[in-house]
Amino acid sequence: MSQKPETLALHAGWRADPATGAVAVPIYQTTSYQFQSAEHAANLFALKELGNIYTRIMNPTTDVLEKRIAALEGGVAGLALSSGQAASAFAIQNLARVGDNVVSSTDLYGGTWNLFANTMKDQGIEVRFVDPVDPENFRKATDARTRAYYAETLPNPKLIAFPIAEVATIGRPLGIPLIMDNTAAPILTKPLDHGAAIVVYSSTKYLGGHGTSIGGLIVDGGNFPWEEHKERQPALNTPDPSYHGTVWSEAVKPLGPIAYIIKARVTLLRDLGSCMSPFNAFLTLQGVETLPLRIERHCSNTAAVAAWLGKRPEITNVIHPSFQKGELKRRAEKYLRGGQGGLVGFELKGGKDAGRKFIDALKLLYHVANIGDARSLAIHPATTTHSQLTPEEQLATGVTDNYVRLSIGIEHIDDILADLDQALKAAA
C-alpha cells in the first residue's frame, strides 16, 4: 500500500469485515471472545498465539485504530488507551520504576506537568524538568537511573518546535529512548523519522478532530535496541514476575520489534485497565479518515489568523512559529515541514482583564479546555488549563497572565477573523 498519509488515513489496518464484507470498520461492542478450543484459550493466555481475549486488553475495532496510527507514524505497533493522560503515564511506567527517573522538557501540557511533578513523584518516579532550548540540558540531567526522555513536538503555549533529533541523538548511545507527545503535530511531524523511539497522542485532539471522544495512543517505533541496554532498561530486560518470569525483550522477539508495546498492553493495561472503548475507537477512526485534509486547513487558517493578529493594535505579542527567529525558526522549519500547526497565542495590551473580556465576547469561537477540534476554540490558560501550576511553573511552561490561546478550526477564514475582530474591539 502507498505510504502517503492521505491514503493510510483511510485504509491502513483494514480492508473489509471478513464476516460480512462491511467496508466501514464495525464497532465490535463485545467484552469477550469465544475461544476455539481449550488449547486455543491456553495459547492466547500464554502469548504463544496473539488473538482476542478480553476487551480490556484488545478489541478488533480498537485494533484497526492502533494499526492505522502506527502506520501513519511509521511505527510497528500501537496501543489505544482511555485518554492522552493514560498514554503519557503508561509510556513512562512501562520503563521506570520506584527510584528511577525521567528527564522531561519543561514545555508541557499542564495535565502532563501535574502527572509528572506530583503523581509520578508519589509513585516513586522522579521527573527532572529541563529547558529544551539547549538539548544538552537533557544530558546534564541524566544519571544511571534515567530511563527515558520525554517532550512534546509542538508544545503550547510557547509553540517552539522541540529539537527531536538533537535530543534523540544524546539518548541513543546511553540507551535512553525519547518519548514524543505528538498530539499537536500529527501529519506535520513524524518523530520516529527523527530518532524518537515512542510516540504518544491524546487522540482527543486532532486525531478524533470533532470533540466527541477522549482517547490516547502509544506508538512503538520498533527502532530501539532494548536488549543492548540491559542495565539501563531493566523493565524490558529482567524477568517479569507477573508473567512467570518473562523477559520481554527476548520473549517477544519472534513477533517482531514490539517488546515495549506488548509489555504495556499485557501488564499495564491488564492491571490498570485504562482501555479505549470500541465506540470511541470507531469515532476516532472516523476522524482519522479526514485528518490530513483537516490538518491542511487548520494550518492555513492558523497562519492567516497569526498574520492578521500581528497587525492588530490591541496585541503586544503573537506566538506562532511564523513569528520566530534564528534557531527557533530553524527548528520550526526542520520539524514542521507540512505546516505550522493549528495553534496560535497572543498577549493583549489590556492584560488579564482584557483577556477575560475578549473570551466573553466571542460568538463563533467556543471557550473550552480543548484543542484540535474542527471548530475554533479559545482559552485563557493561566486561569484554566495551567491554573493548578504555581506562578513559577506557569512561567516555565510559557503561560503569562495576559496570554490567550486559540485553536483555529476549519471554518471559513472570513468568519473566524470577523469573530476575533469584534471580540478584540469589545475587549479594548
152 sits near ligand PLP (criterion: CB under 6 A): yes
Closer residue to ligand PLP (CB): 232 or 373: 373
Is the Cβ of residue 7 or residue 119 nearer to ligand PLP in the bound state?
119
Q: Closer to ligand PLP at the Cβ: 160 or 354?
A: 160
3-state helix, strand, coil split of the chain in percent (to 5) is: 45, 15, 45
Q: Which one-letter amino acid corresponds to residue 256? A: G
Interface with ligand PLP includes 182 (CB under 6 A)?
Answer: no
Number of residues that bind ligand PLP (CB under 6 A): 16
Task: Count CA atoms closer than 13 A to 150's CA, side-chain side.
Answer: 31
Give dist(CA 150, CA 168) in Å, integer: 10
Residues 339-378 that bind ligand PLP (CB under 6 A): 371
Out of 61, 104, 204, 340, the residue judged to bind ligand PLP by CB under 6 A: 204
> Residue 178 in 3-state DSSP?
strand
Using the minimum distance from each CB to ligand PLP, give the nearer residue, 252 or 344. Answer: 344
Distances (CA, A) of 235 to 85, 223, 248, 426: 21, 17, 8, 56
List 55, 61, 62, 85, residue binding ligand PLP (CB under 6 A): 85
202 binds ligand PLP (CB under 6 A): yes
Task: Residue 263: name the closest of 246, 277, 278 by CA.
Answer: 246
The answer to whether residue 83 forms part of the interface with ligand PLP (CB under 6 A) is yes
The helix or strand, by DSSP H or E, that contains position 201, with its residue range, turns out to be: strand 198-202
SS3 state of residue 126 = strand
Closer CB to ligand PLP, residue 44 or residue 217? 217
Q: Does 84 bind ligand PLP (CB under 6 A)?
A: yes
Is residue 166 a contact residue for ligand PLP (CB under 6 A)?
A: no
Contact between 157 and 131 under an 8 Å Cβ cutoff? The reply is: no
End-to-end CA distance of the chain: 54
183 scored as a contact of ligand PLP (CB under 6 A)? yes
* Gap between the Cα atoms of 231 and 400, Å rounded: 42
Q: Which is nearer to ligand PLP, 116 or 248 (CB)?
A: 116
Cα–Cα distance, 306 to 333 (Å, whole number)? 17
Q: Which is nearer to ligand PLP, 104 or 202 (CB)?
A: 202
Site string for ligand PLP, 86-125 (x = CB under 6 A): --x--------------------x-xx-------------
Among 163, 186, 191, 216, binds ligand PLP (CB under 6 A): 216
Residue 203: what residue type?
Answer: S
Q: Tell me if residue 421 falls in helix, strand or coil.
A: helix
Give me the least distance between CB of 40 and ligand PLP, in Å please. Answer: 35
Residue nearest to ligand PLP (CB): 84
* By the rule CB under 6 A, 277 interacts with ligand PLP: no
Stretch that binds ligand PLP, among 21-29, 30-38, 181-189, 281-289 (CB under 6 A): 181-189
Residue closer to ligand PLP (CB basis): 125 or 259: 125
Nearer to ligand PLP, 72 or 262 (CB): 72
| d(C-alpha 262, C-alpha 78), whole Å | 9
d(CA 113, CA 134): 20
> How many helices, marked H, and strands, marked E, lie in the chain?
18, 12
Quote the DSSP letter at residue 32. B
Cβ atoms of 275 and 205 within 8 Å: the answer is no
The minimum distance between CB 85 and ligand PLP, in angstroms, equals: 4
Complex with ligand PLP: residue 176 or 180, whichever CB lies closer: 180
* DSSP characters over 83-124: -HHHHHHHHHHTT--TT-EEEEES---HHHHHIIIIIHHHTT
Q: How far is the CB of 109 from ligand PLP (least distance, A)?
A: 4
Q: Which residues bind ligand PLP (CB under 6 A)?
A: 83-85, 88, 109, 111-112, 152, 181, 183-184, 202, 204, 214, 216, 371
